[in-house]
Amino acid sequence: MTQVLALIPARGGSKSIPRKNIRTFAGHPLIAYSIAAGLAAETVTRLIVSTDDEEIAEVARRYGAETPFLRPADLAEDHTPDLPVFQHALNWLMEHESYRPEVVVQLRPTSPLRRVWHIDQAVYRLLERPDADSIRTVCVPFQNPYKMWKIGADGFMQPLLQSAHREPYNMPRQLLPEIYWQTGYVDAARSDTILNKGSMTGDAILPLVIPPEDWIDIDSPDDWRRAERLLGEPGLTFDDLGYQVLEKSQPAV
């Protein structure tokens, strides 16, 4: 059986929404939704939360995640990129458990309305393509970057992107190149890509195109309120997401 590790990075020092990862979202800690989605995915064989925070670790365990280690504080700073966090997790598991998965799936806690089948689709598609290093969920953006601008030091605007077309910013959207936005909703990579190539993506990156309305990332109080409203609407249920959020054990007293 192919070993697929779902890794949820969840540091304790979030600034935009303090203690965001364990703040109650629609009745459960925010991180519980990503844990539940990962546990429900048929391709995921193990799920671990990487955190520097013991309270987050305790909440994660209550909802069924493993927390075999605490992440070092220097890998939980505001500007810490994903790569060293995932390298630390994989190296720790190799050193302490001789465990090395073939595929690592990143499930960010800030996407609580993730569909389970998108996790499975990402993993299956990556496994079907041995020439691929990774796969990322993408969607068509609301605005095409060919119509975006920079403002130069002289005060005049400059097109953000160059194009073979003359004045692409004056062209109808339908005639512009098709562009995709990486959502961070589901990312999967081979462990060799992370450890041997020193990259979260490598060079051969597959797309998994999802509808824009399926993606939401919580980065502000407004995002939080909008996501809770979406889950509370009659049109979006846990059946639609493909999982239920359940505590596996009661908190320690």
Domain ranges of the chain: 4-137+181-241, 141-179
What superfamily does domain 4-137+181-241 belong to in CATH? Answer: Spore Coat Polysaccharide Biosynthesis Protein SpsA; Chain A (3.90.550.10)
For the chain, 253 residues long, give each residue's pLDDT as a single digit of tens. Answer: 899 999 999 998 777 788 999 999 999 999 999 999 999 999 999 999 999 999 999 999 999 999 999 999 999 888 899 999 999 999 999 999 999 999 999 999 999 999 999 999 999 999 999 999 999 999 998 888 889 999 999 999 998 887 777 778 878 877 788 889 999 999 999 999 999 999 999 999 999 999 988 888 898 999 999 898 888 767 688 999 999 999 986 654 4
Q: Given the DSSP bridges, would you call strands 103-106 and 181-190 parallel, antiparallel or unpaired?
A: antiparallel
DSSP-based three-state secondary structure for 75: helix
Q: Which amino acid is at 26?
A: A
* Short-list 211, 44, 46, 199, CA closest to 134: 199
Predicted TM-score (pTM) of the model is: 0.91
Tens digits of per-residue pLDDT, 96-113?
999 999 999 999 999 999
pLDDT reported for residue 233: 65
Q: 227-251 pLDDT, tens per residue?
A: 988 887 676 889 999 999 999 866 5
Bridging pattern class, strands 134-139 and 205-209: parallel
pLDDT at 192: 97
**pLDDT the model gives residue 253:** 41
Query: How confident is the model at residue 14, as a pLDDT?
Result: 77
The pLDDT of residue 166 is: 77
Question: How many Cα atoms sit within 13 Å of 142 on the Cβ side?
Answer: 4
- Which secondary-structure segment (H or E) carries 231? helix 221-232
pLDDT score for 251: 55
